[in-house]
C-alpha cells in the first residue's frame, strides 16, 4: 500500500462518485448533468458546497435535508464510497496513470449502468455507445488487449445478446433482451476482449436467474423482466479484476 498515492486518489474518487450520483439521477430523465446545481427533491433548496462533501455531509446531516428534513437515500454516500474505492483499485490494477484512467472510467460507467438499469430498465446510449469507442481506444494503450481482440469482443458480445434477443422474441413472443443489453455487452467486449465475453454472460445469467427465481418464489408472475444490465455490469467489473486469473484457472484444468 502506498498511502501517499492512495489517499489523494481515494479523495478524487469520492468526488467522481459524487458526480456519478448526478449522472445516475439525471441522465435517464434527459436532464443536463452540469446545470443546475443539485437541489433537494423535497423542498427545492439548492445544496451548498459544504452540504455536498462526499460521505461526510451525509453523516453530519444524519441523512436528512437541512432545509426540510426529508431523508436522503443512503445510496448516495454508498455510490461516493464506491467511487473512491474503485479509483484506488484502478490504480492498483495498472501502475501507469493512462491505463488506470481507462480502467476507472470503465468501472464507473458500469456502476452508473447498474444503478440506472435497476431504477429505470434502460441503459443510456450516451454511456454504452461512447464507451464502445473508449474500449477500442484503450487497446492502443493496454499491452494486454489487442485491437483485434477488442473489436472481436464488441462484435461477439453485442452479437450474442442480439441473437438471444431474436430467439427469445420468436419463442416467447415477448420482449426479453433489450437493445440496451446488446450495446452494453458490445461495450464490455470492447474493454475486456473476446476471451472474457462468455464468462461475463455466464456469470450474469447465473445471478440473474437466481434473482429471477427468487422473485417468482415471492409470488411474481414470471413475466417480471429482470434488469439484465444490472447483472451484466457487475459481472464485467468482476471479470476486469479477476478475469485473467479465472481463465488461467479454467484452462489449467484441461
Least Cβ distance, residue 42 to Zn ion (angstroms): 4
Q: Which of residues 66 and 92 has its CB atom nearest to Zn ion in the complex?
A: 66
User: Exposed/middle/buried for 245, CB within 10 Å: 0-12, 13-18, 19+?
Assistant: exposed
Q: Which of residues 43 and 166 has its CB atom nearest to Zn ion in the complex?
A: 43
Take residue 142 and report the three cell numbers written for it. Answer: 493496454
Q: Which of residues 30 and 44 has its CB atom nearest to Zn ion in the complex?
A: 44
Residues 228 and 239: their CA atoms lie apart, in Å, by 16
Q: Which of residues 70 and 198 has its CB atom nearest to Zn ion in the complex?
A: 70
Least Cβ distance, residue 65 to Zn ion (angstroms): 3
Residues 6 and 117: their CA atoms lie apart, in Å, by 31
Residues 51 and 216: their CA atoms lie apart, in Å, by 42
Least Cβ distance, residue 112 to Zn ion (angstroms): 24
Q: Are 120 and 28 in contact (CB under 8 A)?
A: yes
Give SS3 for 149.
helix
Least Cβ distance, residue 71 to Zn ion (angstroms): 10
Q: Which of residues 42 and 159 has its CB atom nearest to Zn ion in the complex?
A: 42
User: Exposed/middle/buried for 123, CB within 10 Å: 0-12, 13-18, 19+?
Assistant: buried
Least Cβ distance, residue 57 to Zn ion (angstroms): 13
Binding site for Zn ion (CB under 5 A): 40, 42-43, 65, 67-68, 70
Amino acid at each position: 500500500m502506498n498511502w501517499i498515492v492512495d489517499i489523494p486518489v481515494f479523495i478524487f474518487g469520492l468526488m467522481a462518485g459524487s458526480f456519478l450520483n448526478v449522472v445516475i439521477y439525471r441522465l435517464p430523465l434527459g436532464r443536463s448533468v452540469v446545470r443546475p446545481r443539485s437541489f433537494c427533491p423535497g423542498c427545492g433548496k439548492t445544496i451548498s458546497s459544504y452540504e455536498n462533501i462526499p460521505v461526510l455531509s451525509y453523516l453530519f446531516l444524519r441523512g436528512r435535508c437541512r432545509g426540510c428534513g426529508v431523508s436522503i437515500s443512503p445510496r448516495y454516500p454508498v455510490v461516493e464510497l464506491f467511487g473512491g474505492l474503485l479509483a484506488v483499485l484502478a490504480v492498483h490494477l495498472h501502475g501507469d496513470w493512462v491505463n488506470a484512467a481507462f480502467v476507472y472510467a470503465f468501472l464507473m460507467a458500469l456502476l452508473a449502468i447498474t444503478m440506472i438499469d435497476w431504477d429505470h430498465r434502460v441503459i443510456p446510449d450516451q454511456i454504452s455507445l461512447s464507451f464502445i469507442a473508449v474500449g477500442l481506444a484503450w487497446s492502443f494503450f493496454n499491452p494486454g488487449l489487442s485491437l483485434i481482440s477488442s473489436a472481436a469482443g464488441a462484435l461477439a458480445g453485442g452479437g450474442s445478446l442480439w441473437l438471444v434477443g431474436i430467439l427469445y422474441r420468436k419463442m416467447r413472443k415477448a420482449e426479453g433482451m433489450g437493445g440496451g443489453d446488446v450495446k452494453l455487452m458490445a461495450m464490455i467486449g470492447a474493454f475486456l476482449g473476446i476471451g472474457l465475453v462468455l464468462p461475463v454472460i455466464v456469470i450474469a445469467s447465473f445471478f440473474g436467474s437466481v434473482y429471477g427465481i427468487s422473485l417468482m418464489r415471492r409470488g411474481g408472475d414470471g413475466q417480471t423482466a429482470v434488469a439484465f444490465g444490472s447483472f451484466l455490469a457487475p459481472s464485467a467489473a468482476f471479470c476486469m479484476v479477476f478475469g485473467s486469473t479465472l481463465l488461467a484457472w479454467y484452462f489449467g484444468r484441461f
